Amino acid sequence: MGLRFYNTLTQRVEDFAPARDNTVRLYTCGPTVYSYAHIGNFRSFTFFDLLRRWLRARGFGLDHVMNITDVDDKIIRNAVAEGKSLADYTRAYTEAFLEDCAKLRLEQPERLVKATEHIPQMVHAIETLRDKGFTYDSDGSVYYRIQKFPEYGKLSHIDFGGMRAGARVDVDEYDKADARDFVLWKAPKEGEPFWETGIGPGRPGWHIECSVMAIEYLGETLDIHAGGIDLTFPHHENEIAQSEALTGKQFARFWMHAEFLLVEGQKMSKSLGNFYTLRDILERGYAPEAVRYLLASVPYRKALNFTFDGLKSAAVAIDRLRNFQLRLESGRFPENGGGAFLDRVAEARRGFEESLDDDLNTAEALAAVFEYVREANTAMDAGTFPAAAVAPARALLEEFDALFDVLKPTAAVDAISDTEIETLVTERSQSKKARNFARADAIRQELLDRGVVIEDTREGVRWKRK
């Protein structure tokens, strides 16, 4: 059986292949940069990363677009409260998000696109929807008339048929009880930032940005649209209503949604205050790869309960694999025998691949690897692990790590060598002599950040690792 995914739209597991030229056109909803992302958010982003990597492992090319929502209700509220422009307010959080992604080894999508850089295209789309009769104006805002789109509800599988026409909702986020005509373009309130456009002053609603950017970069029909489960309604339902009204074509063939990261049974979220940022966790001394492993280890359609014990177990699991890898690299193994062990590694590999093909069942894929590692360790202890099985065992670990990407320790990735330190120390002394104190200070800080302390003594500069 080949690759198959659960499709929220059809509520079935279906065979997957891209519609055209072996390239998967993938759109994922990115972060709203009003604050630091928490590890609940990163559960969704880790799922996108696994999806990318497994699609690639299965031989497909990728064209993946992710948006950065840099204008919405929360951003405007916070930016206005701090007296900052939208751009100034969102810059720091966008950078922090990308740094966190890098720490978690999340691949960058082929295109990372900002909502505020696509305002004219959104205005154009709203004009088109207006020409087609899908909108109405009220007090300077433009709304989508959901009664004009009889299929409204087909993704979240809710019958909205009996709804009151003309009732509308202005906020970007709302729940099913509030399913009404939603806002495409919002008139500015006193003191709020806005764009001056052909449809009047204002700013886009949240939903239109994804429709417009997805279609602009990926075409009218995406192969996969993915996001967190909470986006199914209203965000993705509204994206479908807008996009299909615009193009008359199916917007996305597959809809994939990641379940929540929970804390004591509740969704980890900003509003409940039960969240940890990646920074919080790293400060407690955990490695980013342990966080990555934990988030990846539970299949994306199962809720995952976050605990520090879980994080510790993740670190132990990674260690077990690193030790096995070390044994393979440095051990001495008998040249004779081995047929059965070659079969075993082939079986483990098949188990790994088939589990992932089955809607990315990461838990079963891990089980296949660990079962093999346990047996191989036992055989190594007994001196019966054959030399001929070393290369295929290493290939299995490589295949594992192309997806899970946890074997290389972060400390080693960030490590600074003695020669690098000496070079920076010399450059700092020269900068000081040249009275370039800013550069000298920056070097001291960089070294400090990388765990090296420098001291100026009468005998010269001394440095030591913290």
Asked whether position 109 contacts ligand AMP by CB under 6 A, the answer is no
Q: Report yes or no: 160 and 179 within 8 Å, Cβ to Cβ.
A: yes
31 binds, among ligand AMP, Zn ion, none (CB under 5 to 8 A by kind): ligand AMP
Asked whether position 44 contacts ligand AMP by CB under 6 A, the answer is yes
Task: Enumerate residues 6+ apart whose C-beta is below 8 A from 304.
Answer: 43, 259, 260, 261, 262, 294, 295, 298
Task: Enumerate residues 6+ apart whose C-beta is below 8 A from 81.
Answer: none
Determine the size of the site formed for ligand AMP (CB under 6 A): 17
Indicate the residue among 39 and 199 with the shorter CB distance to ligand AMP.
39
Asked whether position 51 contacts Zn ion by CB under 5 A, the answer is no
- HSE-up of residue 336 (Cα within 13 Å, Cβ side): 0
The residue from 3, 9, 29, 155 that contacts Zn ion (CB under 5 A) is 29
What is the smallest separation between the CB atom of 257 and Zn ion, expressed in angstroms?
12
Burial 307-337 (b: 16+ CB within 10 A, else e): eeeebeebbebbeebeebbebbeeeebeeee
- Tell me the per-residue interface mask from 263 to 282 with ligand AMP, x by CB under 6 A, - otherwise: ----xxx-------------
Spatial separation of the C-alpha atoms in residues 389 and 335, rounded to whole Å: 10
Q: Which stretch binds ligand AMP (CB under 6 A): 160-168, 194-202, 226-234, 383-391?
A: 226-234
What is the smallest separation between the CB atom of 369 and ligand AMP, expressed in angstroms?
25
Q: Which stretch binds Zn ion (CB under 5 A): 99-107, 204-212, 352-360, 361-369?
A: 204-212
Asked whether position 261 contacts ligand AMP by CB under 6 A, the answer is yes
Spatial separation of the C-alpha atoms in residues 37 and 436, rounded to whole Å: 37
What is the smallest separation between the CB atom of 8 and ligand AMP, expressed in angstroms?
13
Indicate the residue among 5 and 47 with the shorter CB distance to ligand AMP.
47
Q: Which stretch binds ligand AMP (CB under 6 A): 29-37, 183-191, 291-299, 381-389?
A: 29-37
Q: Report yes or no: 269 and 306 within 8 Å, Cβ to Cβ.
A: no
Q: Sign of the C-alpha dihedral, residues 186, 153, 66, 272?
A: positive
What is the smallest separation between the CB atom of 79 and Zn ion, expressed in angstroms?
21
Q: Report yes or no: 205 and 126 within 8 Å, Cβ to Cβ.
A: no
What is the smallest separation between the CB atom of 32 and ligand AMP, expressed in angstroms?
4
Asked whether position 228 contacts ligand AMP by CB under 6 A, the answer is yes
Q: Which stretch binds Zn ion (CB under 5 A): 115-123, 140-148, 209-217, 265-273?
A: 209-217
What is the smallest separation between the CB atom of 197 and Zn ion, expressed in angstroms?
21
The residue from 109, 202, 227, 338 that contacts ligand AMP (CB under 6 A) is 227
Burial class (CB within 10 angstroms; exposed 0-12, middle 13-18, buried 19+) of 209? buried
Indicate the residue among 24 and 345 with the shorter CB distance to Zn ion.
24
Burial class (CB within 10 angstroms; exposed 0-12, middle 13-18, buried 19+) of 31? buried
Q: Report yes or no: 19 and 223 within 8 Å, Cβ to Cβ.
A: yes
Sequence letter at residue 12:
R
Asked whether position 43 contacts ligand AMP by CB under 6 A, the answer is yes
Q: Report yes or no: 397 and 348 within 8 Å, Cβ to Cβ.
A: no
C-alpha closest to that of 124 among 208, 58, 207: 208
Spatial separation of the C-alpha atoms in residues 435 and 441, rounded to whole Å: 11
Element (H, E) at 203: strand 200-204
Indicate the residue among 208 and 356 with the shorter CB distance to Zn ion.
208
Asked whether position 41 contacts ligand AMP by CB under 6 A, the answer is yes
Sequence letter at residue 418:
D
Indicate the residue among 86 and 252 with the shorter CB distance to Zn ion.
252
The residue from 101, 113, 210, 379 that contacts Zn ion (CB under 5 A) is 210
What is the smallest separation between the CB atom of 201 and ligand AMP, expressed in angstroms?
25
Indicate the residue among 210 and 258 with the shorter CB distance to Zn ion.
210
The residue from 27, 143, 255, 260 that contacts ligand AMP (CB under 6 A) is 260
Burial 119-153 (b: 16+ CB within 10 A, else e): bebbbebbbebbeeebbeeeeebbbbbbebbeebb
40 binds, among ligand AMP, Zn ion, none (CB under 5 to 8 A by kind): ligand AMP
Q: Give the binding site for Zn ion (CB under 5 A).
A: 29, 210
Q: Give the binding site for ligand AMP (CB under 6 A).
A: 29, 31-32, 40-41, 43-44, 227-228, 230-231, 258, 260-261, 267-269
